[in-house]
Amino acid sequence: MAAQVLSMEARTGRSNQRYGSQGERLVAGIVPLSTDKYYVLLIQSTRRGGWVLPKGGWETDEATAQDAAKREAWEEAGIVVKITFDLGLIPEWRKPDQLTAQAPKAAYHFFEGTVEKQESQWPEMHKRSRQWMTFSQATQALADRPELLDALNRCTMHR
């Protein structure tokens, strides 16, 4: 297998976005854990501030949702991850009145991964900071994002 080429260019727009049978946006995400599984890496949300897990649209040129999750981990958090578990599909939790053209209905596919490399420069470094947190810190940080909390709760990190 060829080594993954890491671009310093973050993808933007939705022209290559995959959609599900109900018109929902297919989103891939990662729960990035430290090797000892005591810490998870969260990133700053660009839209609302606060902390989130790396995630984004699964695009048509990506063979698998894992590929999309790895790309998002790199673009948003500057990390190279090895996927260790498929955490499954997580449905949209937002109410219809919380959905917008910028944030339409989505179906999330999350993976657990071990962070193999954390780079000092990455595509979204100027818009996001990142922080390692314990399970209880991350639970509090993700309290208002039930779909992200669900992914965190499904992972094998130490509680």
Residue spans per domain, the chain: 32-154
Cβ atoms of residues 31 and 112 within 8 Å: yes
Helices (H), 59-127: 65-72
Decide which of 3.90.79.10, 3.40.50.300, 3.30.470.20, 2.40.50.140 is the CATH code for 32-154: 3.90.79.10
- Range name among 20-29, 60-69, 138-147 with the lowest pLDDT average: 20-29
Cα-to-chain-centroid distance, residue 158: 19
Please state the rounded mean pLDDT for residues 38-59: 94
- Contact residues for 30 (Cβ-Cβ < 8 A; gap 6+): 53, 54, 55, 69, 70, 72, 73, 81, 83, 110, 111, 112, 113
The reply to whether the predicted model has a pTM over 0.85 is yes
> Is 47 a residue whose pLDDT tops 60?
yes
Mean residue pLDDT of the chain comes to 90
Q: 5: burial class by Cβ within 10 Å (0-12, 13-18, 19+)?
A: exposed
3-state secondary structure of 37: coil
Please state the rounded mean pLDDT for residues 91-96: 75
Helices (H), the chain: 65-72, 135-141, 146-154
